[in-house]
A and B are shown apart, each in its own frame.
Chain A
Amino acid sequence: MSFDLEKIRRDFPILSTQIGGKPLVFLDSAASSQKPKSVIDTIRKYYEAENANIHRGVYSLSQKATEKYEMARIKTSRFIGAACAKVVIFTRNTTESINLVAQSWGRTNIHEGDEIVLTELEHHSNLVPWQMLAQEKQAVLKFIPLNQDSTLDLSNLDEVITERVKLVALAQMSNVTGTIHDLSAIIRRAREVGAKVLIDGAQGICHLPTNVQKEDFDFYAFSAHKMLGPTGVGVLYAKEEILETMPPWMGGGDMISKVWKEKSTYADLPARLEAGTPNISGVIGFGAAIEYLESVGMQEIRDHELELLQYALDRLEDFGGLELYGTNDLSKRGGVISFNFPGVHPHDVGSILDEEGIAIRVGHHCAQPFMDFKGIAGTCRASFYLYNTKEDVDSLLVGLKKVKEIFGRVLKR
Chain B
Amino acid sequence: MSLSDSLYQEVLLDHYQNPRHHGKMEHSDLHEEGVNPLCGDEVELFLKLKGDIISEISFVGKGCSISQASASMLTDSLYGKTITEAKTLLHEFKGMLLEDKVPNFSEEYEDLESMEAVKKIPARIKCATLAWNTLEKAIGK
Measured CB to CB, the residues of A under 8 A from B are 344-348, 351-352, 354-355, 363-364, 377-378, 402, 406-407, 409-411, 413
Contacts and interface: CB of A to CB of B under 8 A. Distances in A.
A351 B128 CA distance: 14
B8 A407 contact: yes
B110 interface: no
Contacts of A413: 17
Contacts of B7: 351
Contact of A410 (B4, B13, B38, B127): B13
A347 B39 contact: yes
Contact of B63 (A345, A351, A409, A410): A345
Contacts of B4: 351-352, 355, 402, 406
B14 interface: yes
Contact of A348 (B10, B40, B66): B66
B96 to A, nearest CB: 19
A312 B117 CA distance: 32
Contacts of B2: 355
Contacts of A352: 4, 8
Give the bracket for the number of chain B residues in contact with chain A: 20 to 34
A410 B17 CA distance: 7
Given A345-B63, A348-B65, A377-B40, A409 B124 contact: no
Nearest to B10: A409
A89 to B, nearest CB: 31
Interface string B17-36: 10000000000000000000
A354 B2 CA distance: 12
A347 B3 contact: no
A89 B56 CA distance: 61
Main secondary structure of the interface of B (DSSP, over half): helix
A210 to B, nearest CB: 31
B69 to A, nearest CB: 10
B64 interface: yes
B16 A378 contact: no
Q: Which of B8, B13, B41 has the most CB of A within 10 A?
A: B8
A344 B16 CA distance: 10
Given A351-B124, A352-B4, A410-B10, 20 more contacts: A347-B39, A347-B63, A347-B64, A347-B127, A348-B66, A351-B7, A351-B121, A354-B121, A355-B3, A363-B39, A377-B62, A377-B63, A402-B4, A406-B4, A407-B8, A407-B13, A409-B10, A409-B13, A410-B17, A411-B17
B5 interface: yes
A45 B110 CA distance: 57
The 3 A-B pairs of least Cβ separation, nearest first, read: A345-B64, A347-B64, A410-B13
Contacts of A402: 4
Contacts of A363: 38-40
Nearest to B63: A345
Nearest to B42: A377
Contacts of A354: 121
Given A348-B66, A355-B2, A355-B3, A364 B14 contact: no
Nearest to B121: A351
5 contacts: A348-B64, A351-B123, A351-B124, A355-B4, A377-B62
Contacts of B41: 347
Given A352-B4, A410-B16, A413-B17, A347 B10 contact: no
Interface string B57-76: 00000111110000000000
A364 B64 contact: no
A344 B66 CA distance: 11
B19 to A, nearest CB: 12
B8 A406 contact: yes
Interface string B71-113: 0000000000000000000000000000000000000000000
B31 to A, nearest CB: 23
Contacts of A364: 40
A341 to B, nearest CB: 11
Nearest to A353: B4
Interface centre among B2, B10, B16, B64 (most CB of A within 10 A): B64
Nearest to A411: B17
B13 to A, nearest CB: 4
B71 to A, nearest CB: 13
B125 to A, nearest CB: 12
Contacts of A351: 4, 7, 121, 123-124
A345 B38 CA distance: 14
